[in-house]
Amino acid sequence: MKNLNAYKLERGIYPLIFEYAGLVGIDLKLLLATIVNFIIFFLLLEHFFYGKVKDILAKRQDDVTAEIVGATEKNTAAAKLKQEYEGLLSDIRAKEREIIRNATVEGQSERQEIIDKAHSDAKLIIEKAMAEIEVEKRKAMNEVKSNIVDLSLYAAEKIIVETLAQKKHEAMVLDFIDKGGDAQ
C-alpha cells in the first residue's frame, strides 16, 4: 500500500488505471454461463411461482377492486343517509317551529280569553255592586222618608198638642173671663 501511494504521487492516478486495465476484462464463458443460469433461474421461478404470484396478484387486485366498490357503495349509502337525516332534521325543525308558533298563538288566545273573562267578571261585579248600591240607596231613602214621616208626625203632634193646649188655654181664659165677670 505504501508503494502504491508513492506510485500515485509520482505518476498520478491515471497511469495506474491503465496499467491495471488488463486485469479487468470480459470473460465470454463466464458471461454465457451467467446468462444460462439466469434463464434457468427465471424459468424455474416462472414454473413454480409465477402462477401462484399471478393468482395472488389477481386476488389482491380483485380484493382492492371489491374494496373500492364497497367503499363507493358505502359512501353512496352514507350520502343517502346524510340526505335523509338532513331532511328529517329539517322536518323536525319545521315541526318545532310550528309547535312553537301554535303554542304562542294558543297562549295568546288563552291570554285574551282570560282577559275577556276578567273584564266580564269585573263588569258583573260592578253591575252587582251597582245593584246593591241601588238597593241600599232605596233602603236609605225609605228610611229617610220614614224618619221624615215620623218627624212630621211628631212635629204635627206637637203642633196639634200645642194648638190644642193653646185653644184649651184660650178656652180656659175665656171661661175664666166669663166666670170671672159673673163673680164681680
CB 26, CB 35: distance < 8 Å: no
∠ Cα 81 86 92 (to 5°)? 125
The answer to whether residue 34 scores a pLDDT higher than 90 is yes
Least confident of 16-20, 160-164, 169-173: 16-20
Query: In angstroms, rounded to a whole number, what is the distance separating the alpha carbons of residues 31 and 48?
Result: 26
More confident position, 14 or 113: 113
Helical pair 13-20 and 2-11, crossing angle rounded to 10 deg: 120
Q: Which three cell numbers stand for residue 92?
A: 323536525
State which residues form the domain around 112.
Answer: 2-183
Scored b (16 or more CB within 10 A) or e, 82-121 reads eeeeeeeeeeeeeeeeeeeeeeeeeeeeeeeeeeeeeeee
What percent of the chain stands above pLDDT 90? 23
Q: Rounded to 5 degrees, what are φ and ψ at 131? A: -65, -45
For 65-87, what is the mean pLDDT? 91
Of residues 162 and 141, more confidently modeled: 141
**Cα separation of 117 and 125, whole Å?**
12
Residue 165, C-alpha cell as written in the block: 193646649
The number of folded domains in the chain is: 1
